[in-house]
Amino acid sequence: MKTPFVTKAQLDKITASYPTPFHLYDEKGMRKNARDSYAAFSWNPGFQEYFAVKATPNPAILKLLKEEGCGADCSSLVELMLAERCGFKGPQIMFSSNNTLAEEYQLADKLGAIINLDDLTHVEFLEESIGHIPETIFCRYNPGGVFTLGEGKDGLQVMDTPGEAKYGMTRPQLAEAFRLLKAKGARYFGIHAFLASNTISNDYYPELAGILFQLAAELKAETGCDIRYINLSGGIGVPYRPEEEANDIAVIGAGVRRKFEEILVPAGMGHVALCSELGRFMTAPYGCLVTKVLHFKHIYKEYAGVDACAADLMRPAVYGAYHHITVSGKEDAPCCRKVDVTGSLCENCDKFAVDRMLPELERGDLLVIHDTGAHGHAMGYNYNGKLRSAELLLREDGSVSLIRRAETPEDYFATAIWQ
Ligand SMILES: *Cc1c(COP(=O)(O)O)cnc(C)c1O
């Protein structure tokens, strides 16, 4: 069972001041999770989480995570600008981009961000763009093929296909990039890889760590490069479905530690600092989309129409992603009605749920669409003239702050050239 982090009494109070729909974030949950994540890796002295800005690019959220010790993982010019405006400085910013623009490398360099190269050809492109090679540089690895985890009697836990992914360098390219970068003056090296997304498994990070630690030991021997950092990137998932079990970051941290002690310490690399670029895991469960039931429609199926639409949360429409829905105040009521929960876009994929069993609904009910704290508001768009919703932060003391206002028609019209 999934319980919302906000009660009906709280929501009634919030909706008296802020019209639905809106994304609501839970400061308490987010801070606790960030602390637990740091605690899980406290055995590694240099550990640094770089929050993947793309997941929740709101200044209030970024500052909150910064207070918990997080850096910012950026992959575009504007994300770099946002990180700077939020007060992230120098190596608190990781720039993990692909298909990168020269201006992006220039700003990353100007800010003193750590640059993570996605391709061998970017060694020269970076040098052309910024006029030198930074002292510290990371490279992204792609082992190709298919990445699987946990094949056994319990079935497959994780499967993803790095061989189909546009990111990173092959093993020979990685060695060549390190040699080239070293020849051009780089002194400290990092290795990065992201092999599977939204993994519901405590084994993903340890498995990835094993691969990267082994690779680091080999590359050190082959190239003589001083490898100081290993970036495990993102990919730790969250249980969107009520029957899924949440990852345990303490177990994940301990699993990575075992690999570290098994592989890196004997290779004389016990000083290596780990980093992560978690996005979804840091914020997804600590956000929800609150929307009001507007209409019921009975045709060949039963529909409940709400005041949010895919422009507020596109994951269900685009990926068929599951987001759990509870009805505020009816959390314990029997789920006896099968409905499609729809937005109002002129697109039939604009459904937050299909054939979902929900309690008896009434017009005016507030639906809580769970786990929208990452890639929720962030992926919003303006199709059909829909305006992006507000973002609110439920503070630890129970008060609520508006952390992004809803768009107005003037925002929508602002970029048009009126002739
Ligand atoms: C998206 C992304 C992340 C975050 O991934 P999550 O699965 O949300 O943790 C981290 N690093 C890079 C380079 C990314 O593109």
For residue 259, the SS3 value is helix
pLDDT of residue 153: 67
* pLDDT tens digits, one per residue of 111-166: 999 999 999 999 999 999 999 999 999 999 999 999 999 877 667 889 899 999 99
* pLDDT tens digits, one per residue of 243-289: 999 999 999 999 999 999 999 999 999 999 999 999 999 999 999 99
| Backbone conformation region of residue 149, classed left if phi is above 0, alpha if psi is from -120 to 50, else beta | beta
Cα-to-chain-centroid distance, residue 241: 18
- The binding-site residues of ligand 1, defined as CB within 6 angstroms of any ligand atom, are 52, 54-55, 73, 75, 96, 194, 197, 233-235, 277-281, 374
State the distance from the centre of ligand 1 to the C-alpha of 384, rounded, in angstroms.
29
Cα gap 331→358, rounded to integer Å: 10
Cα-to-chain-centroid distance, residue 115: 19
Q: What is the mean pLDDT of residues 206-211?
A: 98
At residue 189 the predicted structure's pLDDT band, cuts being 50, 70 and 90, is very high
- Percent of the chain at pLDDT exceeding 70: 99
pTM over 0.85, yes/no: yes
Q: CB neighbours (10 Å) of residue 60?
A: 18
Q: Which atom of ligand 1 is nearest to the CA of 140?
A: 13
Pocket residue to mutate for ligand 1, from 48, 61, 73, 282, most atoms within 8 A of Cβ: 73
Inform me whether the pLDDT recorded for 342 exceeds 90: yes
State the distance from the centre of ligand 1 to the C-alpha of 56, rounded, in angstroms.
11
Q: Domains (ranges, CATH) in the chain?
A: 8-23+285-413 (2.40.37.10), 27-283 (3.20.20.10)
Give the residue whose CA is nearest to atom 3 of ligand 1. Answer: 234
Give the residue whose CA is nearest to atom 13 of ligand 1. Answer: 96
Q: Which atom of ligand 1 is nearest to the CA of 284?
A: 8
Q: What is the mean pLDDT of residues 182-204?
A: 97
Inform me whether the pLDDT recorded for 330 exceeds 80: yes
The answer to whether the CB of 232 falls within 8 A of the CB of 138 is no
- Percent of the chain at pLDDT exceeding 90: 97
Tokens representing 24 are 């609501």
| Residue 99 identity | N
In this structure, what are the phi and psi dihedrals at residue 417, rounded to the nearest 5 degrees?
A: -100, 110
The per-residue b/e assignment along 157-168, b for 16 or more CB within 10 angstroms, e otherwise, is bbebebeeeebb
Q: Which atom of ligand 1 is nearest to the CA of 280?
A: 8
Q: Is 275 a catalytic residue?
A: no
pLDDT of residue 151: 75
Tokens representing 307 are 């005041």
Count the residues in the chain: 419
Cα-to-chain-centroid distance, residue 125: 28
In this structure, what are the phi and psi dihedrals at residue 418, rounded to the nearest 5 degrees?
A: -90, 120
pLDDT of residue 156: 83
Cα gap 161→155, rounded to integer Å: 18
Q: Which atom of ligand 1 is nearest to the CA of 192?
A: 13
Cα gap 47→44, rounded to integer Å: 6
Pocket residue to mutate for ligand 1, from 48, 50, 54, most atoms within 8 A of Cβ: 54
State the distance from the centre of ligand 1 to the C-alpha of 295, rounded, in angstroms.
37
Which residues make Cβ contacts (< 8 Å) with residue 316, sequence separation at least 6?
Answer: 310, 322, 323, 351, 352, 353
